[in-house]
Amino acid sequence: MAFFEHHGVEEKESFQYLTLVNRSFPLHFHRAYELIIVNEGELLVTIDQKEYVLHKNDLAFVFTNQMHEFKTINHSNITVIIFSPELIGHFFMNYKGVIPKDNVLHLSQAPNLEKLNSIYMQKGFLYSICGVLQDHTSFIPVKHSTKTKVLHQILLFVDNHYTSDCTLKLVAKHLQYDYAYLSKLFVQMTNMTFTEYLNHYRISQACYLLKNSQQSIYEIAMNCGYNNLRSFNRNFKRMINYSPKQYREL
DSSP string for residues in 7-62? TTTT-S--EEEEEEES--EEEE--SSEEEEEEEEEEEEEEETTEEEEE-TTEEEEE
- Report pLDDT for 2: 47
Q: Which pLDDT does position 5 carry in this prediction?
A: 54
What's the pTM value of the predicted model, to 2 decimals? 0.88
In the chain, which stretches have pLDDT less than 50?
A: 1-2, 8-9
Q: What is the pLDDT of residue 4?
A: 53
AA letter at 206: A
Architecture of the domain made up of 15-141: Sandwich (2.60)
The pLDDT value given to residue 144? 82
Using N-to-C axis directions, what is the helix angle for 179-190 and 194-212, rounded to 10°? 60
Domain boundaries, the chain: 15-141, 146-249
Determine the pLDDT at residue 10.
Answer: 56
pLDDT at 217: 97
The yes/no answer on whether domain 146-249 falls in CATH 3.40.50.300 is: no
